Amino acid sequence: MRLSSGDILLHSGDSAGALGRYREALALAEAWNARQKSDARLLHELANCYEGLGRFYAAKAARSRRVEDWRDAFVWHQQNYDIWRAGRDRAPATVYSTKREERAAAAVAECERVLVTVAR
């Protein structure tokens, strides 16, 4: 719920509210994962938090044009990708997990593309 309300706030232009909701969702997901490391659903929630924070920082970077914001977006998207990629080592890939991994990889690649462009 906190993650989706963060998405709504982000799309409505309330960046501070969105970041607060994303951080709340992340804190919960991290706590849940610390207690039950083998639960794939909880790992997916953690990945969702990473993806949400990646979107937040990418949107912020698009407005601010600050390299630091793009780096933050890259870090969060990379963590999201790492969870989906590691999932292949734990269980057979599904259509859903493959699509999520591809989406995460595309977000990482976009951040890398922008960072290379900005660094020139």
Identify the sign of the CA torsion 104, 93, 95, 40.
negative
pLDDT tens, position by position, 48-64: 999 999 999 999 999 98
pLDDT at 118: 80
Structure tokens that stand for 114 in this block: 């922008």
Q: Which residues of the chain have pLDDT under 50?
A: none
CA pair distance 26, 3, nearest whole angstrom:
8
Write down the residue that tokens 């207690």 correspond to: 35
CA pair distance 5, 110, nearest whole angstrom:
25
Domain count, the chain: 1
The parent domain of residue 80 ranges over 2-119
CATH code of 24's domain: 1.25.40
Structure tokens that stand for 55 in this block: 């979107």
Whole-prediction pTM: 0.90
CA pair distance 58, 2, nearest whole angstrom:
19
pLDDT at 73: 97
pLDDT at 95: 94
pLDDT at 6: 86
Among residues 78, 101, 76, which one has the least CA distance to residue 89?
101
pLDDT at 120: 66
